[in-house]
Structure 1
Amino acid sequence: MEFPPLVAPDGPAAQGAAVKRRIAIVTAEILGPVRNGGIATALTGLAEALALDGHKVDILFVDLANSAVDSMQGWVAHYAAKGISLSRLPGGADLPTLSHAAADWLATRTPEIAHFHEWLGLGAAALAQKKSRRRFRGTLMVVGAHGPSAWAAEGNGTPLDPEIDARERQSVALADILISPSAYLLGWYRDRGWTLPARCHVQQNLLPLRPDPPAPRHRLPVRELVFFGRLEQRKGVVLFCDALDRLKLPPGQRAGLTVTLLGKTAPVDGQDGLAYTLARAQGWGLPVQHIGDKDTEAALAYLRQDGRLAIIPSLIENSPCTVLECLLEGIPLLAANVGGVAELIAPQDQALLFPATADALAARLEAVLATGAATGSPAIPQSLVRTQWLTWHGAQRTETPGLRGWLMRFFTKR
């Protein structure tokens, strides 16, 4: 197997970990201070599961936009009630300065396992300090592959900041272990010449605790087409508009059909994504609304209402939480078959996928509007994903600094 799973299928299957760890998470996104997003959803789910299993979990939220100044006290209390310590690092400084500040914070926690995302390279300073043996000899440094800036720039057709790219590459190269929710993204790194650590593994994201998904349903009537995601090139908003331009419906199917844009706006072709989409919508002959102020739970509650079809037509994706959330919530959906999307969906439900072209999406929409939509099941139950994450954290052999490490820390401080 090219990129092995984090926990072997025939490995230990104990519920929870026998050894409880000190675990730190450094992130620019966490649910609450940040309304939604893939990194926020994945790391919130992981933190909550680890704390519930008895681990000591500390989170450093790097508030890049300084948007959580007024609400932070409430979110600290919210996470404390879940057994999680939440700290805030104010933004405003450049990324290297923030990365060094994050390393200083991490040193005060002395974690056995530290998690970073590769995006923006916030862990670069701490990883470099471990490499040089200045700090963190007793910490296993884990970098999560959520999608670097080069990958996003490739999908959006936008310029790439070379300094950010260098820090993200450094973070990946210096990781003790690189964990990706999809085999696809690890292959993307390899194919573009990134230096990868010796230990690269695939492990799906764990979402905040949800009930078991309902049984799949079929032939569900659709009266509302919901674009679900940011209004940007990478998320497929242009493809979506092109497909709606091509949509051919008999009058009976068009009557009462509406379109909703469910997600934040972002730049598209040098203009605001919402303005771009509304201009394109003038030729559809359908009512169009935009909803951009909902957090994850509110967005899913909206999609659960009868008659709504979630459409996720991304041009590139790693392991999108939007797709997994729809599967877990029993929400009818269609998703572009790109990146690691197919890895999320059970083999018997792969018909929910379509090739990432406007013609293919238009054809699928015409078929769904004629015969009904369907829900699906995840390829791996979240209960198993939870067990895998917890088993792995308890089984890790973390380094012990020993006398040499103690002396190095002592003289470094002096």
Structure 2
Amino acid sequence: MTGPRLGRYCDIYFKPEFAGIFENRNAAKVALLVTREFEGKEQEGLSRNGGIGTYYRTLSRKLAEDGWYIILLISVCEHRFRGESKIPEIKHIFSASEAEEVLDLQSSHRSILGDARIDSQLLDYESFLHMMFTQAIVHTFDEAHIYVEHHELFGTAFRTIQAKEAGLLGRNCLVAITMHGCLEWVYESHDKFVLQYLDYYWQASHLEQTAFESADLAFFPSHALKKRVESYGWSTAHARHQPYFVPIVEPAISEIESERQTPPRTQKRSLVFFGRLEERKGLCTFVEALKQLTDYWKERIEVYFVGRVVALETFRPQNIDSRQYIAQELADEIHYTVYSGFSSAEAIAFTRGLSSPVVCLTSNQENFPNTALEMGQLPISLIVSDTGGFRETLQLLERTEGVYWFAPRDVTGLMDAILQVLCQPPQPHNVPTHEKLEQINRRLLTQKLTYIQQAFPRQPLSSPSVGCPQVTVVVCCAQADKQLLNCLHSLSVQSHMDLEVVVLCNFSRCEADSSIFQQAGAIFPRIGLLRTSHALEVDVTWKRLKEMINGKFVVVFEASSVAMPFAIEQLLQTLQTAQAEMATCSVLDSRNPDRAVNLTQIPLPALLKTSGQAPACVLLPVGALDDYAPNLTRPDGLHTGRMLASALAHGRKIAYYPYPLCQRQSRTEPALTAKEHLREQYALRHYLARGDAGQWSRRQLYVLLSAAQQLLYQEIAPPAAYSHAEPAPEPPATPSVDPPAPAAAEGSAAAAAAADYWQSQWRQAQLRIAAMESSKFWKFRKVWFSLKQRLGLPNDE
């Protein structure tokens, strides 16, 4: 799985007291399902409803039927399962937050977790925990085929996929992602186009897209959802169409456990809004359609809202939830009842127990909703928004009878559909039989297992052959000192034998330099020296550098860092295993050797905002070196951060070894001044703009356009126009992670900025009012209104 020289440096095992809980360590097939939701009311700590939870419950049952050993990993969960499961098809349950309690973590593991925790990189922290659990499962079942499935939300599979590409999970582990509805799609379906938490949004969206495109297997449930994410620039050519399994609704009403779920008896027709009570599900469209009904029909229907009450985005400034909104709009209009807090099974049982119910599924957009899979099995009338997700779902069930369609967001169309149903006498409709549903599920299971089997390599487990190609290390040096010698010492003891070194320095010659370079030559006989200066044209320097490079691969390395003995070998193996165009790694912090500095892949808007991250080293094939030529106007040599940004902009594959392979030497670097930071931002922008924009990836162009639109809006709009545009995000945080300290300061700064804005607006308004009142027009206006009042004329005359 990893090279022998790495030993236990990056391997992870369960602690001895937990290693013994696994019943069958000789299992041939192991499935690790990683999710935020799992419908399992039998066990404390699991959710009672939700589409993703229903999906994973059904998936676990189907895989267990095929003989898979199922392990469930719950993210964003405080509960401590300790591997215990009360669900028959699940062998073990863990929460990501208990990683440090059940996993035998070494200093290398704690170092990368420490960086994510200290910097409050909550998305990264959770993703690393998932990666480490996966490593432990792989080592526990070392002879098994291991299938790992994540949802795409928040990109929590990102680090696991990086570990797989780096060879840390072996070749018998398969990492898959099923698309359920990414953050961009959720915001769009909520009509949230103005965002306040831009950095979080950019980061989460980038991780979702990158993880989905890099997974061994990628599934999408509906063509409608696939088409939407393609419009955001996602690449889906490798993805497989895999509809959800059908959660079969049993004919007996066995889930009603108390009078609270017992449907009321009424002579009126029952109209049911079924789903989470939010705008995305069409709540506002449904309420407006009810208000347009005549009094005749309002008196003849009983309306039931069956779904979870949530805060509404449309009314966020007023802090109104869906229950309050319904009361505000319908209190004097129609008789209704809100039922919130049901589990999925309880909600279905309640709805089925109503007398001739008419269920309305009114979403603005849909992915492949379980609500339609469930309601489509009941012999009731359905009024359905004609989104691709709903239509594909009902087509899977072959449910056509008693279905009434209307255009999404069309209030009048929905009202007409309601009237069409109400004007007809209640009658049961033909629905798919139990045997038909089982047949559908068997077909879907066979299809999914075929995809999984085809994705596993046919060759026996083995590490890819790296060989020993010649590698040229270009050491970028700002000054000749002891740090340069330490760097060269670390390169001289590399496990990869065929190395040559070129020192690229951008300082003037002095007597002390000669002594340093004499020592450098003694350390590393195969060494070259190339100086850069303003007096020498950059293109000439670049040409000379390429002439000095003899290796098939090039490593750009900071002289302020030292490499671990296996660094070059591991980077080379990572590049070839991932079939990438660039490889890099995390680096240990010189000020705190127990903490690594993780390289978090961030989208271009964030890179441009921060002037980019500079990894300690990057490795790439020599043929790709021209793609990363330095600016011809800036004689500062190669810059790893700009090289990384260029690879991202052009959609090139970047492999990342998640554990530190080098360490920065201690040196107190002065913080950049504001002017220096702006200069670095300009340099990065100039570096990215020098190439052919036609070679940029479509995704990055879309992201940059979105970011520019957001930032321009915030520039011209008053703060209040977007301060309530979205709720505080819900990242996959864990109780052990402290929230970022600057958050309060940022909030107070935003509030102060808003206050300053409105004060300035008020002062300008006062000046305008004073100017108007002193004008001849204003004086004449006062006389005119006084005359109209005396004549008895209305003010609007």
Change (3 A) 1:209 1:322: closer
Letter in 2 for 1:60: L
- Range with greater deviation from structure 2 (326-335 or 308-317): 326-335
8 Å Cα contact 2:70-2:91 kept in structure 1: yes
SS at match of 1:348: coil
**Residue aligning to 1:218:** none
Q: How does 1:377-396 map to 2 (within 5 A)?
A: 377=431, 381-395=436-450, 396=453
Partner of 1:402: 462
Deviations 1:254-302 (A, max 9, x none): 4352211111122221131221122111342x22211111000100000
Structure 2 residue 306 is the aligned partner of structure 1 residue 262: yes
Q: Report the alpha carbon displacement of residue 371 of structure 1 after superposing the two structures with TM.
A: 0.6
Question: What are the residue-to-residue correspondences of 1:14-33 with 2, within 5 Å?
Answer: 21-32=29-40, 33=46
Corresponding residue for residue 300 of structure 1: 348
Q: Report what 2:419 is aligned to.
A: 366
Change (3 A) 1:348 1:390: closer
Which residue is 2:224 aligned to?
Answer: 184
- SS of structure 1 residue aligned to 2:207: helix
Aligned to 2:278: 232
CA contact (8 A) 2:381 2:421 kept: no
Q: Distance in 1 between matches of 2:465 and 2:421?
A: 63
Preserved contact between residue 155 and residue 234 of structure 1 (Cα < 8 Å): yes
Cα distance in 1 for partners of 2:365, 2:133 equals: 34
Post-superposition Cα deviations, 1:283-329, rounded to whole Å, max 9, x if no partner, equal 42x22211111000100000002232221100000111011101124
- TM-score w.r.t. structure 2 length? 0.44
Contact 1:342–1:350 (Cα < 8 Å) also in 2: no
> Partner of 1:84 in structure 2?
91
1:11 matched residue in structure 2: none
Change (3 A) 1:242 1:405: farther
In 2, distance between residues paired with 1:203 and 1:393? Answer: 7
Q: Report the alpha carbon displacement of residue 211 of structure 1 after superposing the two structures with TM.
A: 4.5
Identity, in percent, stands at 22
| Contact 1:21-1:55 within 8 A present in 2 as well | yes
Summarize the Cα distance change of 1:122–1:372 in structure 2 as closer, same or farther, 3 Å threshold.
farther
State how far apart, in whole Å, the 1-side matches of 2:465 and 2:379 are.
51
Structure 1, 229-238 or 345-354: larger mean CA deviation: 345-354
Quick one: which of 39, 52, 58 aligns to 1:45?
Answer: 58
| 2:233 is the counterpart of 1:199 | no
In structure 2, distance between residues paired with 1:99 and 1:108: 15
Residue among 132, 148, 154 paired with 1:104: 132
Q: Contact 1:46–1:207 at 8 Å: present in 2 too? A: no
Are 1:164 and 2:204 an aligned pair? Answer: yes
Letter in 1 for 2:293: L
- Give 1:317's aligned residue: 366
Unmatched runs of 5 consecutive residues or more in structure 2? 1-26, 41-45, 99-116, 139-144, 253-266, 467-568, 574-656, 662-797
Q: Does 1:123 align with 2:157?
A: yes
Deviation at 1:393, TM superposition (A): 5.0
The one-letter amino acid paired with 2:424 is T
Question: How far, CA to CA, are the matches of 1:222 and 1:311 in structure 2?
Answer: 16
- 8 A contact 2:381–2:402 mirrored in 1: no
CA distance, structure 1, for counterparts of residue 287 and residue 72 of structure 2:
39
CA contact (8 A) 1:41 1:207 kept: no
Q: 1:226 to 1:209 in 2, by over 3 A?
A: closer
Counterpart CA distance in 2 for 1:136 and 1:101 is: 18
What secondary structure does 1:260 align onto? strand
Native 8 Å contact 2:70 2:89 kept in 1: no
SS for the counterpart of 2:86 is helix
**Larger-gyration structure (1/2):** 2
- The letter of the residue matching 1:295 is S
Question: Is contact 2:242–2:448 with CA below 8 Å preserved after alignment?
Answer: no
SS at match of 1:266: coil
Aligned: 1:278 with 2:327? yes
1:385: how far off?
Answer: 3.5
Equivalent pair of 1:319/1:341 in contact (CA under 8 Å):
yes
- The equivalent residue for 1:57 is 70
Residues 226 and 261 in structure 1, CA contact (< 8 A), matched pair in contact too: yes
Cα distance in 2 for partners of 1:287, 1:314 equals 23
Distance in 2, Cα, partners of 1:172 & 1:243:
39
Give me the whole-angstrom Cα distance separating, in 2, the residues matched to 1:321 and 1:274.
Answer: 23
Q: Deviations over 1:209-245 (max 9, x none)?
A: 54489xxxxxxx9622111111111110111111111
Q: Alpha carbons of 1:156 and 1:280: their partners in 2 closer, same or farther (altered >3 Å)?
A: same
After TM superposition, the structure 1 stretch with the greater mean CA deviation from structure 2, 369-378 or 314-323, is 369-378
Aligned 8 A contact 1:245 1:283 in 2: no
* Residue 191 (structure 1) shift: 2.2
Asked if 1 retains the 8 angstrom alpha-carbon contact of 2:380 and 2:402, the reply is: no
Report how far residue 113 of structure 1 moved. Answer: 1.6
> 2:186 maps to which residue?
152
Q: Which moved more, 1:26-35 or 1:130-139?
A: 130-139
Q: Tell me the amino acid that sits aligned with residue 285 of structure 2.
A: L
**How many Å separate the matches in 1 of 2:444 and 2:360?**
30
Runs of 5+ in structure 1 lacking a partner? 1-18, 214-220
Closer, same or farther: CA 148–321 of 1 in aligned 2, 3 Å: same
SS in 1 for 2:48: coil
Distance 1:136-1:363 versus aligned 2 partners, 3 A rule:
farther
**Partner SS for 1:90:** helix
Distance in 1 (CA, whole Å) between partners of 2:420 and 2:447 is: 44
Distance, in Å, in 2 between the alignment partners of 1:163 and 1:87 is 26
Kindly state the Cα deviation for residue 83 of structure 1 after the two structures are TM-superposed: 4.7
Letter of the 1:143 partner, please give it: I
Judged with a 3 Å threshold, the aligned counterparts in structure 2 of structure 1 residues 155 and 394 are, in CA distance, closer, same or farther, namely closer
Q: 2-side partners of 1:20 and 1:413: how far apart?
A: 33
Query: 2:402·2:429 contact (CA, 8 Å) conserved in 1?
Result: no
Deviations 1:41-71 (A, max 9, x none): 0111011111122111111111x253x55xx
Match in the other structure for 2:291: 245
The 8 Å contact of residues 247 and 373 in structure 2, kept in 1 or not, is answered as: no
Classify 1:124/1:183 alpha carbon distance in 2 versus 1 (closer, same or farther; 3 Å): same
8 A Cα contact 1:118 1:171, kept in partner: yes
Matched, 1:340 2:389: yes
For 1:114, what is the secondary structure of its paired residue? strand
SS in structure 2 at match of 1:304: helix
Distance 1:281 1:65, change over 3 A: farther
